[in-house]
Chains A and B, each alone.
Chain A
Amino acid sequence: MICKKNAAQVYLTQIEGDKMKKVDVCEECAKHKGLNDSAGFAIADLLLGLGASHEMAEASGGLGIKCPACGFTDADFKKAGRLGCSQCYPSFAEGLEALLKTMHKGTKHVGKTPHSFKQSRDLTDRLKNLQKKLDKAVSEEDFEQAAGLRDEIRSTKDQINNLEPGLKP
C-alpha cells in the first residue's frame, strides 16, 4: 500500500523483462497515480514514495546520469525503484540524498560496522593522529620524538597497505 491508510483495491503486477513486481494500492492512490495508464507511472514512486523518480531526474538536471561501474541510469531507477550496484550510491548521491532524508531516521549510518572496515578506519585515524604529532614535534625541534613518530607512521602505513584491496582508505 502506498498511503497506508485505505485498504488496497488495486493489485498491480508489472512484468519487466523477466522480473515481476507486485504492488497493492488503494483506489484513491491508484487514481492519483494514474495507474490505469500503465505507461505513465514509475515503480520507484510506488516502492519509495511519491516523487522518488522525480527527485532522481531533478538531480540529473534532465541530462541523465549513468553509473560508471555498472551502466545503470536514473531512467532505470525510475523503472525499477532499485539500484544497479553498490557504486550507484556515489554515482547518484545527489538525487539519493533528498530521498534518504524522507525515508530514514538520518542520512548517516550509525549501526554495525564490519570488523575489517573498523580496523581500516582505526588505522587511518591513527595515521592522521601520528602525522599531527610529527608536525608538532618537528616545529618544536624535538627530533628524537620525531624519529620515533616517523617509525610508527611507517609501520601504520605498512599495515594499511596489507589490508584487503577493498578496505584501503
Chain B
Amino acid sequence: MTIHEFLSPPAETARRAGPHDRIVLSSRVRLARNLRGHAFPGWAKKAERVKALEVIRPAVESLPQLANAFSETMDNMGPLDKQILVERHLISREHQTKGAGSGLVLNKEESLCVMINEEDHLRMQALRPGLQIRQAWVAIDQVDSELEKRLDYAFSAELGYLTACPTNLGTGIRASAMLHLPGLVLAEQINQIISSVNKLGLAVRGLYGEGTEALGNVFQVSNQMTLGEVETDIVDRLNKVLQQIIEHEQNARGTLLEKKPKLVFNQIGRAYGNLANAHIISSKETMNLLSLMRLGVDLEMFPGVDRALIDELFVVTQPAHLQRQFTEKLAAEERDLLRADMLRERLRHIARPSPKAPGNVPGMLDKRN
C-alpha cells in the first residue's frame, strides 16, 4: 500500500475534533531515543544506518499500538510523498531529506508516528487534535515503555536518554502545540506574547517547526529544556502556558471586536473576497487569507460554514497536495492558477461574510469547548 492510499483524506482529518480546537490546532509529544553501541544517524556511515534500521524497524512494527501501521523506508518514497507527509505535519523537514537507512512507521489514525534514523535513531511522536498535551504524553510514554523491552536504549543514570544533540538530552521530550492566533497578530500583541513565552523557557516557532515563519498566523509553542526536570512537569508547565495563551487570544478577539470591529470585518471580508475571486494565488497568500477566514468562521460571520472546510483547504492548497491531483509536473506559476481555480470552486456557495453587531457575537468566546 502506498502512503497515498494509507493517509486519510484531508476532508476527514480536518473533522478530527479536540478541546479548544478553535485555537489549538493540534498537540504533539515526541521522544528522542537512541540505541546503545550504534553511532548516531548523522555520524553513522550508510551501512551502519541500514543496520540500525534493521534492528529498530521490526521492533517498532511489533508494537501493539502500531498493528496495521504503514511502514516504509525513506528511499522507497518519492519526493512528492515525503512533501505530502511534511505538509501533514507527520514528518520533519529533516526527515524529508533522508533516503536509504531511514524509515517511517505510522498508525492508521495518524496519531502515532515513528521516524527512524532522523537526527536520532528514534523520534516517536503522539499527535492529538486540540489541546491534549497530557493525553499525547501518556500515549507516547506507553509506546516507549513497550519499545524499551525490545531495544537496548543508550541511557545513563546521570544524563538520562543520550541524544545526538545535547539540547534533547535527558528526557528527550519535546511537547508542543500548534496554535492559531490571528487575534493576537491583528491586535499587534503577538511579539509581546512570544517574548514572555520565551522567558518561560519555551520556544515559539513557525508552521513547520524549527526555523520556519509563522504562515497563516499559526505558531508552535514547545518546551526547550529536557534535562533536570521530569516529563510530567514539563508537560504540565507547557499546558498551563498554553491555557494562558488561549485566554489571551480570546481576549484579543473580544477587544478587537469591541474597539476596532471595522478592522476585523475589513480583514475577513477582504480575505474572503480574494480567496473566492482570485485567479492567481500563492500558497503563502492562501494560508494567510484562510487564517482570516477561519477567524471569520469562529466569529460566526459565515453562517453554516464548517471550520473543517477551511482546515481542509489549508492542507489541500499546499504545493505537494495540489501537485498530487495532477499527473504532469506543475511549475509554481501553474500551481498558483490551479490553486485559485480550486478555491473559487470550493468557496462558490459561501455567501459573503455578514458582520455581527459588536458585543453580540455568540460563541466568540471559547467557553463551549
Does residue B39 face the partner (Cβ distance < 8 Å to A)? yes
CB A55 to nearest CB in B, in angstroms, measures: 11
Chain B residues, CB < 8 A from A85: 38-40, 43
**Residues 78 to 122 of chain A near chain B (Cβ within 8 Å):** 80-86, 89, 96, 99-100, 103-117, 121
Does residue B165 face the partner (Cβ distance < 8 Å to A)? yes
Whether B228 lies near A105 (C-beta < 8 A) is yes
Does residue B162 face the partner (Cβ distance < 8 Å to A)? yes
Whether A166 lies near B159 (C-beta < 8 A) is no
CB B81 to nearest CB in A, in angstroms, measures: 19
Whether A104 lies near B43 (C-beta < 8 A) is no
Size band of the B side of the interface? 35 or more
**Residues 195 to 238 of chain B near chain A (Cβ within 8 Å):** 195, 198, 201, 203, 210-213, 225-231
Does residue A144 face the partner (Cβ distance < 8 Å to B)? no
CA distance A8 to B194 in the complex (A): 14
Does residue B357 face the partner (Cβ distance < 8 Å to A)? no
CB A84 to nearest CB in B, in angstroms, measures: 4
CB B160 to nearest CB in A, in angstroms, measures: 3
Does residue B359 face the partner (Cβ distance < 8 Å to A)? no
Does residue A164 face the partner (Cβ distance < 8 Å to B)? yes
Does residue A47 face the partner (Cβ distance < 8 Å to B)? yes
Chain A residues, CB < 8 A from B159: 89, 108-109
Q: Contacts A103-B166, A109-B157, A109-B171 given; indicate if A114 touches B148 (C-beta within 8 A).
A: yes
CB B307 to nearest CB in A, in angstroms, measures: 29
Whether A83 lies near B40 (C-beta < 8 A) is yes
Does residue B70 face the partner (Cβ distance < 8 Å to A)? no
The residue from B152, B156, B169 contacting A104, defined by CB atoms under 8 A apart: B169
Q: For A164, give the chain B residue with the smallest CB separation.
A: B152
Chain B residues, CB < 8 A from A166: 36-37, 152
Does residue B127 face the partner (Cβ distance < 8 Å to A)? no
CB B82 to nearest CB in A, in angstroms, measures: 14
Whether A116 lies near B164 (C-beta < 8 A) is no
**Most B Cβ at <10 Å: residue of A82, A109, A116:** A109
Whether A115 lies near B167 (C-beta < 8 A) is no
The residue from A106, A121, A164 contacting B228, defined by CB atoms under 8 A apart: A106
Does residue B34 face the partner (Cβ distance < 8 Å to A)? yes
**Most B Cβ at <10 Å: residue of A103, A110, A112:** A112
Whether B166 lies near A83 (C-beta < 8 A) is yes
The residue from B149, B160, B173, B225 contacting A105, defined by CB atoms under 8 A apart: B225
**Residues 33 to 90 of chain A near chain B (Cβ within 8 Å):** 47-48, 70, 72, 76, 80-86, 89
**Most A Cβ at <10 Å: residue of B40, B158, B171:** B40
Whether B165 lies near A81 (C-beta < 8 A) is yes
Chain A residues, CB < 8 A from B227: 100, 103-109
Whether B229 lies near A105 (C-beta < 8 A) is yes
CB A52 to nearest CB in B, in angstroms, measures: 9
Chain A residues, CB < 8 A from B229: 105-106, 110-111
Chain B residues, CB < 8 A from A103: 166-167, 225, 227
CB A28 to nearest CB in B, in angstroms, measures: 15
CA distance A86 to B163 in the complex (A): 7
Chain B residues, CB < 8 A from A164: 152
Whether A114 lies near B40 (C-beta < 8 A) is no
Chain A residues, CB < 8 A from B34: 86
Whether A121 lies near B164 (C-beta < 8 A) is no
Whether A113 lies near B155 (C-beta < 8 A) is yes
Q: Contacts A108-B158, A112-B231 given; indicate if A100 touches B166 (C-beta within 8 A).
A: yes
Q: Contacts A106-B227, A107-B227 given; indicate if A84 touches B152 (C-beta within 8 A).
A: no
CB A74 to nearest CB in B, in angstroms, measures: 13
Chain A residues, CB < 8 A from B228: 104-110
Whether A82 lies near B225 (C-beta < 8 A) is no
Whether A112 lies near B171 (C-beta < 8 A) is yes
Chain B residues, CB < 8 A from A100: 166, 169, 227
Does residue B72 face the partner (Cβ distance < 8 Å to A)? no
Whether B162 lies near A86 (C-beta < 8 A) is yes
CB A136 to nearest CB in B, in angstroms, measures: 27
Does residue B9 face the partner (Cβ distance < 8 Å to A)? no
CA distance A70 to B149 in the complex (A): 26
CB A77 to nearest CB in B, in angstroms, measures: 9
CA distance A105 to B225 in the complex (A): 6
CA distance A28 to B58 in the complex (A): 48
Chain B residues, CB < 8 A from A154: none
Does residue B88 face the partner (Cβ distance < 8 Å to A)? no
Residues 268-295 of chain B, each 1 if its beta carbon lies under 8 Å from chain A, else 0: 0000000000000000000000000000
Q: For A84, give the chain B residue with the smallest CB separation.
A: B43
Does residue A32 face the partner (Cβ distance < 8 Å to B)? no
Does residue A23 face the partner (Cβ distance < 8 Å to B)? yes
**Residues 1 to 54 of chain A near chain B (Cβ within 8 Å):** 1, 4-5, 8, 11, 19-20, 22-24, 47-48
Can you give 11 A-B contacts (C-beta < 8 A)? Answer: A4-B195, A4-B198, A83-B166, A89-B156, A89-B159, A89-B162, A100-B166, A103-B167, A103-B225, A104-B226, A109-B158
